Structure 1
Amino acid sequence: MTEYDVKDLDLAEVGRSRIEWAAQEMPVLRQIAERFARERPLEGIRIAACLHVTTETANLVRALVAGGAEVVLTASNPLSTQDDVAAALVKYDGVPVYAIKGEDKETYYRHLHAALDHRPHLTMDDGCDLVTLLHKERREELREAFGGTEETTTGVIRLRAMAAAGVLAYPVIAVNDAKTKHLFDNRYGTGQSTLDGILRATNVLLAGKTVVVIGYGWCGRGIASRARGLGANVVVTEVDPLRALEAVMEGFSVTSMREAARVGDVFITATGNQHVIDREHLEVMKDGAILANAGHFNVEINIPALEALAVEKREPRPFVTQYLLADGRRLHLLGEGRLINLAAAEGHPSAVMDMSFANQALSVEYLVRHRDALEPRVYGVPEEIDRRVARLKLEAMGVAIDALTPEQERYLASWEAGT
């Protein structure tokens, strides 16, 4: 019997249909899965995956299983699980899944421990919670682990801190840093899915509203671009002068958070840092302001400060908590301050996750093949994998590109030619 903890196995048929629908938009991962099924490069490898339990993730898990891996899946965020998908993986694929949408913190960590009970050789993380738990509380099992991958910016930051402190026990590939991941997933995926989550939660019209985007990394770039495309007046706040300058050159208004707090209608955090919306900002926001987070953890908005300011709170819509302040203003927090694209919507479109999860699958294969040559530190995705994913995606889209001629290659490799 497969061990699992999901909401309801009766949801499995709906989940299977949705997984198959997503697969149609994931041709690169499908090609990898077909090769894995032939070659079985992951035979006998135990993988503990702490990822958002979505239709796209299900297709990644199926690809790994096709390659011979024994995979256990747990959620990387309490609100990101799609319960029908979790049920389908258990019922139809025999994958142990520990994930329930809306689970409390105690259940969340119990599920992480359940995944680690499978004694993984490899970890696949999205936010570094699984790796952190393994290093802090399950150190006796580190001797069996020989590698891992990390999906998101926040997790890579934590892993680099671990490596710098000399505590990271095995090599981890930063999938987030692949060009075919962050240039597309973070920008186009987060840009579209964040606004999708906000619109599903609120049904507000963005045209004409002032949308404040806090953080202008790749996720912030995508959010700002899509918000402007919907007719919003976009204001960007930043702490990095280069990113702030880029936002200015892209035509966005850039100002301090203190000033932006007074004019914004919708606030979207995308920094990976804590309390970028703080009490001083909450105290001056407009009546009716909407607060949403696109970052991995629910720390970017100072929720304890919001709770302290409120005299009353209620839920006028699913995924919307309305805080009534003493002066009569109402502030609306979406999705409990958790990443809104998965709390209130379905996450990134399958077509963009195709590339991200192709990187995941190929990085796992790379770790297995090179396990004896890698040191315990954070690695980038090998360039040959990045370029292979890009090439496969173009082919799947029916896009042809040119190749250098031998003469052009010689010219680019030479130094003698002058003016």
Structure 2
Amino acid sequence: MAISTRGDVKDLSLAARGKDRIEWAAEDMPVLRLIRERFIKDQPLKGVRMSGCLHITTETANLAITLKAGGADLVLCASNPLSTQDDVAAALVSEYGIPTYAIKGEDEETYYRHINAALDHKPNMTMDDGCDLVSILHTSRSELVENVVAGLEETTTGVIRLKSMEKAEVLRFPVLAVNDSDTKHMFDNRYGTGQSTLDAIIRSTNRLLAGRTLVVFGYGWCGRGVASRGHGLGANVVVCEVDPTRALEAVMDGYRVMPGVEAAAIGDILVTVTGDINVIDQDHLEHMKNGALIANSGHFNDEINIPALEKLATNKRRVRDFVDEYTYSDGRRVYLLAEGRLVNLSAAEGHPASVMDMSFANQALGAEYMLKLAKDLEPRVYTIPADIDKEIARLKLQSMGVRIDTLTPEQEKYLNSWESGT
């Protein structure tokens, strides 16, 4: 373990490899590159102290480089104990001069020590993925809140927590829900989570999906993506939902929909993507067939009732990297992937750079936007303006060589009038 005043990473000698991979990801992030070029000239974040609690990946590194290019004084820590790419963390420290506190597989004590190290930076702006940093800032480090003018939140789980804080009237500064912008949740959550989740399951197990029953718990944007990609690989997809509208949508999309306990009895691969607790609970675990694979692609490992699984099992062993076998008293064996943590970042590399290009463009432009308006905003959760969202989509299309139509003056007038009728 290498410890320095500029961070805490596993091994600084990994930095050269990390730099190569960061540059590889950058090739597929043209929108963020365009933003970085403008940031270098305009310096919109000059002098702003930022603390970011994010997944330390090649894509996040490109965001961090962009923020620093815009003048930000940035410190990073990991937002999940298993999602860090150690070579990237090393490169951020030694190649790019961005203090980073992140080690893949760090224990809980280290995880929270790293968050507190990032908060020692006394940030003016926070950038979170899951709301752990903001939660600690409002509790054990509340003396630092007065320095913070605004925050940004990357993921669904974090937005849920922030809205709960807003409702309870304990949120003390405005936060931008980056996750809720169209160019984030419609693409990152659906295409990114869909591909990366199945990538992780296949990498960690080498199991064929074709002909298997894939059970998806939750049919939000992430669930839609997992179901779609599973179907594309030949799996028989079953969806479990509590929301009648989403359940109906899943039926109309051609999937079987049934209660979770029924699905648990037939599922070969079961994936949670809800942001809630005990989505796979003891009842589900008791009904599972021999050989079932269980994975979570939500932010926290609360979606699977792991303590109940531990009690049901008479034996546990690690059979492959990121695969733990639990044997029941009747001889059935079920397999938990990545300790129940978000499987796509634990057992694989997370979302492809192309889709994170839009997500992190939202982060970069969102930081600029919030800094400009923070003094006029109440301590609430906000969504990025539609014009910024559409500009990101326009830049993405441009980078892909895709052209679209524009409205004629006649069409614009028609859409803004009320006189014309049948």
One-letter amino acid of the counterpart of residue 177, structure 1: D
Could you say which residue in structure 2 is the equivalent of 1:388?
Answer: 391
Report the counterpart of residue 302 of structure 1 in structure 2: 305
Number of aligned residue pairs: give it. Answer: 419
Q: Which of 42, 46, 57 lines up with 2:45 in the alignment?
A: 42
Gap runs ≥5 in structure 2: none
TM-score of the aligned structures, taking structure 1 as reference length: 0.99
Residue in structure 1 matched with residue 135 of structure 2 by the alignment: 132
CA distance in 2, matches of 1:313, 1:70: 45
Percent identity of the aligned residues?
Answer: 66
Mapped pair 1:170 → 2:209: no
Alignment match of 1:221 (pick from 220, 224, 235): 224
Tell me which residue corresponds to 1:21: 24
1:374 paired residue number: 377
Q: Match of 1:316, SS?
A: strand
Equivalent runs, 1:236-247 vs 2, <5 Å:
236-247=239-250
Map 1:119-158 onto structure 2 (within 5 A): 119-158=122-161
Distance 1:135 1:378 in 2: 15
Aligned to 2:261: 258
Partner of 1:111: 114
Give the whole-Å Cα distance in 2 for the aligned partners of 1:269 and 1:286: 17
Q: Helix, strand or coil for the counterpart of 1:50? A: strand
- Correspondence 1:322 to 2:325: yes
Displacement after TM superposition at 1:2 (Å): 4.6
Do residues 192 (structure 1) and 195 (structure 2) align? yes
What is the CA-CA distance between 1:369 and the residue it aligns to? 1.1
In the aligned structure 1, how far is the partner of 2:188 from the partner of 2:33? 18
Cα deviations across residues 231-272 of structure 1 (Å, max 9, x unaligned)? 000000000000000000000000001110110000000010
Maintained 8 Å contact 1:9/1:91: yes
Q: Which residue of 1 aligns with 2:412?
A: 409
Q: Report the equivalent of 1:284.
A: 287
User: What's the CA shift string for 1:104-161, capped at 9, x where partnerless?
Assistant: 0000000000000000000000000000000011111100000000000000000000
User: Does the Cα contact within 8 Å between 1:2 and 1:95 map onto a contact in 2?
Assistant: no
Amino acid at match of 2:101: Y
> Which amino acid in 1 is paired with 2:308?
A
Counterpart of 1:67 (choices 55, 60, 70) is 70
Letter in 2 for 1:415: W
Residue 52 of structure 1: aligned partner: 55
Relative to structure 1, the CA distance from residue 363 to residue 302 in structure 2 (aligned partners, 3 Å threshold; closer, same or farther) is same
Name the amino acid aligned to 2:157: T
Amino acid in structure 2 at the alignment position of 1:279:
Q
What CA distance in whole angstroms lies between the structure 1 residues aligned with 2:412 and 2:6? 55
C-alpha RMSD of the superposition: 0.6
CA distance in 2, matches of 1:142, 1:211: 44
One-letter amino acid matched to 1:405? T
Q: 1:168 deviation in Å?
A: 0.3
1:367 deviates by 1.1
Shift of 1:371: 2.0
SS of structure 1 residue aligned to 2:9: coil
TM-score w.r.t. the length of structure 2 is 0.99
Deviation per CA, 1:34-90, whole angstroms, max 9, x where unpaired? 100011110000000000000000000000000000000000000000000000000
Report the Cα distance in structure 2 between the residues aligned to 1:374 and 1:362, rounded to whole angstroms. Answer: 17
Q: Give the Cα separation in 2 of the matches to 1:302 and 1:109.
A: 22
